[in-house]
Amino acid sequence: MIIIHHLNNSRSQRLLWMLEELQLDYEIKRYEREKDMSAPASLRAVHPLGKSPVLEEDAVTYVESGAIMTHLADKHGRFGPPEDPEGARRWHQYMHYAEGSLMPPLFGKLIVMKLGFLGMPARKPVQSRLDDHFRYLDDELSGRAWFCGDELTAADIMMSFPLEAAQARAGLDERYPNILAWLKRCHDRPAYARALERGGEYAYA
């Protein structure tokens, strides 16, 4: 049995999507954020950093979204790297890019906005960095439906959370039509809808 430790409005929503795409049975253990958006003590009892998702399977605990997605893709033979070398290169790139390159400036934007007047000097440079990412990704999606080619992969599922968050609060708008079209394709998938039903509150869909 697969158990997912799921924090509301978090990266773990995309893991539920992956599981629904794989049509696997799983149990959700839910956690609600504190008023300051931090993880509750009950989740810290599972992961010392209070991070989500955490996947338990066959008495083994897996953490870090990219590692979990890779494990599932390898085990079930779906949504992993495409067979063509270029698609495979993109797959490995975006499995790391989502957290390694895109999430840091998104988190910076969140902090800067919370600082109010004190954060004003940093708003323009942080947004400029994000705009660079959005232009790059919009170009990457030009001429293909998904980040690695013509089929959905785990790399798309990894990219969903940062780009959903960017649309909600970081200036991702109609200037980037290829990204918005990609997000719509994600949201139109039946497995995505099922994941929302299972996961509960999610501010970015």
Q: What pLDDT is attached to residue 205?
A: 62
Q: Is the pLDDT of residue 131 over 90?
A: yes
Residue with tokens 């030009």: 142
Picking from 130, 160, 146, the residue whose alpha carbon sits closest to that of residue 20 is: 160
- pTM, full prediction: 0.94
pLDDT tens digits, 174-203: 999 999 999 999 999 999 999 999 998 888
Q: Where are the domains of the chain?
A: 2-79+191-199, 85-189
Q: Is the pLDDT of residue 18 over 70?
A: yes
The DSSP secondary-structure symbol of 55 reads: E
| 70 or 7, which is more confident | 70
Domain 85-189 fold:
Glutathione S-transferase Yfyf (Class Pi); Chain A, domain 2 (1.20.1050)
pLDDT tens digits, 22-59: 999 999 999 988 887 778 889 999 999 988 999 999 99
* Residue 117 banded pLDDT, cuts 50, 70, 90: confident
Q: What pLDDT is attached to residue 68?
A: 98
CATH of 2-79+191-199, one of 3.30.930.10, 2.40.10.220, 3.40.30.10, 3.40.190.290: 3.40.30.10
- In sequence order, what are the beta bridge partners of 54? 5, 63
